[in-house]
Structure 1
Amino acid sequence: MSARHPRAPARPRMVVGISGASGFVYGVRLLELLRALEVETHLVVTRSALLTMAHETPYKLADVIDRATHYHRADDMAAGIASGSFRALGMIVAPCSMKSLAEIATGVSSTLLTRAADVTLKERRPLVLMARETPFTLAHLRNMQAVTEMGAIVAPPVPAFYARPNTLDDMIDHTLGRVLDLFGLDAGTALRWGEEALPALVRTPPTLDKETT
């Protein structure tokens, strides 16, 4: 009897992790951009990230889940994204806390987020960590070196002022546009040096001005 092989995903998939570092809005906006690009998203949010969400944004978890195609609890280690057999373009952790970075650097998987990141590395898929902290300690820098040597890309959300952003939303969109470039996805939100600016994807709804109930 022949083995059964699952069909390839109908559309590209991306695993999105949101950890407890400052910058929760990066993860929310990333989900919006990936939806506009018709990329299937698999979201995992850590417990610490929920605290950051409450401090930094008007969102509730239900608002964030609504922007994802699929949501997985951070303690659900039996989720599909915990297995290397789960096919995806890769994974983005936006933002990536120093705790999550340390777990990924040392192969410790205490949450589904870091397990999914570990799987992404072992399957040799792109893993982008939007590491958020400043200033960095030597431990932080060594962990960044370690994950880079393993194949991950450390992409701190550093603003590009040559784009002359008018709002915080502009800065967020440009940064995420450059992150998505790493996967060959053009969100239309990055101003490219030496090129004419293109109309960005319509922001629906605004990242920071949305009122929630």
Structure 2
Amino acid sequence: MTKTKKQCVIFDCEGTLVDSERLCCQVLQQLLREIGVILSLNEVMKHFDGGKSADILNQLLMATHVHADVDALEIEYRRRTDALFKNELQAMPGAKALLQRLKEQRIDMCIASNAPREKIAQMLSNAGLADYFQDHIYSGFDANSWKPDPDLIHYCAMNMGYRLDDCVYIDDTLQGVTAGVLAGVKTFHLQGSARMHECGYPEVESLQNLADLSQFLELPK
């Protein structure tokens, strides 16, 4: 195992720091049921790839050969997930302990997410993680670039004041991992809750849980 000294950790948010994907898929499953599409939760999760919600809805509709108003479905999807997050959203296992250790070691942290900034901030707040990031939240809407494009990762490093060589990036989806690889940053794939068990990139390290990251970082004792 090669340890590396880094100064900034870039985190994906949903499915990496907050356990949101299960709740999102429950909402998608219910919305589809209401328009006559019956899918298991596992079947819905196979299409939940970390992309835009409209794209995920389109993929599900195409896969089930159903025609529906995607714009209307997306609005209702956002309304229901926001309500569910307020009551049920939790941090991923090990997230708070890892973030606290990074904070104590004065390693900077930021978020790189395809979601709107307001949604990211609210999710972090609901999960009790907001204090670790303050204003260091970077959305695809800020960079006008969404994973798997690498520009959002470049945007994060630039705004944090670091070279990519000084950073590591953690994501749980193929889209996110691809963005990290294309950006040229050291990338970790969190396997804990993802459906993707092999990312296909030999240079990417796999993490079974967030606590495993400390094994790869040269943290002062």
TM-score range, shorter chain: 0.3 to 0.5
TM-score normalised by length of structure 2: 0.37
